[in-house]
Homo-oligomer: A and B are copies of this chain.
C-alpha cells in the first residue's frame, strides 16, 4: 500500500496533473495562443512534476518529501500564471494547483 501519510497528497497530485494537462490541451486550441504561451509552458512543467511526485509516493521513494516540496513550489508558479486567465480550464487548473501545493505542504509538515 502507498504509505498512509501520502494519501491526500497523492490524490491532489493526480488531480493537478489532470487539470494541468487539460489546460495545456485547451490553451493550444485557444484563438489567442500567444497570450497563453507562459500558461502552456507552466502546465507542462506542473504536470510533469506531479507525475513524478505520484511515482515517488507510490513507490515509497526515500526522496518523496524533497520531490513534493519541489512540486509545491512549481504548483505555486503554475497557479499564479493560470490564475491570470479567465478561461474555465485556466481557473480549474489554478484551483487544482493551489490544492496540490497545500496538500504537499500539509504532508511535509
Contact = CB atoms under 8 A, between A and B. Distances in A.
Contact of A2 (B22, B47, B49, B54): B22
Interface residues of A, number: 43
- Give the number of copies in the complex: 4
Given A18-B2, A70-B67, A45 B33 contact: no
A21 to B, nearest CB: 4
Contact of A17 (B24, B58, B70, B77): B58
Given A2-B22, A28-B41, A55 B51 contact: yes
A37 interface: yes
A40 B17 CA distance: 19
A28 B37 contact: yes
